Amino acid sequence: MSIRAPPTTSMPDELASPRAKLVYLYLTTTQGATIEELQTGLDLPKIALYTIVRTLRERELVEQDGEQVTISS
């Protein structure tokens, strides 16, 4: 059995908030997530997640298609 190392992800310099970093990192390890999935997976309040996702979208770090949030390509 071989052990795979987790993918290395460089954190964007413009992310100063620990919560924004946490959301960004979570999204890099998934194929995307809804706000509800982020809330369950990260145990953060929805209101905070909406603000974080909006900020990440404004900085063009994530994309949102309906409910699904993914890392920008």
Query: pTM, whole model, 2 decimals?
Result: 0.84
Whether 25 is covered by a domain: the verdict is yes
Whether 8 is covered by a domain: the verdict is no
Axis crossing angle, helix 35-42 with helix 18-28, rounded to the nearest 10: 110
Whether 6 is covered by a domain: the verdict is no
Whether 26 is covered by a domain: the verdict is yes
Whether 61 is covered by a domain: the verdict is yes
pLDDT, one tens digit per residue, over 5-46 is: 555 668 898 999 999 999 999 999 998 999 999 999 999 999
> Can you name the residues that pair with 33 across neighbouring β-strands?
69
What amino acid occupies position 68?
Q
Whether 36 is covered by a domain: the verdict is yes
Whether 5 is covered by a domain: the verdict is no
Q: What CATH number should be reported for the domain holding residue 35?
A: 1.10.10.10
Structural domain harbouring 48: 18-71
pLDDT of 2 over the 80 cut: no
SS3 letters for 3-29? CCCCCCCCCCCCCCCHHHHHHHHHHHC
- How many structural domains are present in the chain? 1
